[in-house]
Amino acid sequence: MGTLWEKLLFWKKKPKMLEEGVDYQFVDLNDSELTGVGIIKGEYEGVLYHYHKVKVVKEGALARLQFGYTIVHPGKHDIDVLTADENLHTMMGDILSSILMAKTNEQTRTNDSEESDLQ
């Protein structure tokens, strides 16, 4: 059930910064070492998915966030409709942007000299 979606960062529009615990939450997926993301607010409330193959692709002074995902539970939605829903893809990109920005800010605050595990 995976699909690949590309999200533009800082190009055309700035990603909407969503908050953990308000807009989404992390969910341990049973029988798996993966952590899912559950949407807890808005139109896609109840949708549970996880990311895979996340990377930042540099394009000159800009960057594009590229990721794959798998919908684990569609909530009250039809999974086929969700897979084709551009608004959901944009929200997933915004959530991922928020997660990455929080991780980057956390690493900056700790002033850690080790190389980042973000790719």
Q: 3-class secondary structure for the chain?
A: CEEEEEEEECECECCCCCCECCCEEEEECCCCCCEEEEECCCCCCCCEEEEEEEEEEEECCEEEEEEEEEEEECCCCCHHHHHCCHHHHHHHHHHHHHHHHHHHHHHHHHCCCCCCCCC
Phi/psi-derived region of residue 93, left when phi > 0, alpha when psi is between -120 and 50, beta in every other case: alpha
Task: For residue range 44-82, list pLDDT tens digits in order.
Answer: 999 999 999 998 888 888 888 889 999 999 999 999 999
Q: Please say whether the beta carbons of 51 and 69 come within 8 A.
A: yes
**pTM assigned to the model:** 0.74
Confidence of residue 11 (pLDDT cuts 50, 70, 90): very low
Q: Please say whether the beta carbons of 97 and 9 come within 8 A.
A: yes
Q: Please say whether the beta carbons of 15 and 32 come within 8 A.
A: no
Q: Which range has the worst mean pLDDT, 53-62, 63-72, 88-97, 104-113?
A: 104-113
pLDDT at 61: 82
Sign, Cα dihedral of 81, 52, 66, 48? positive
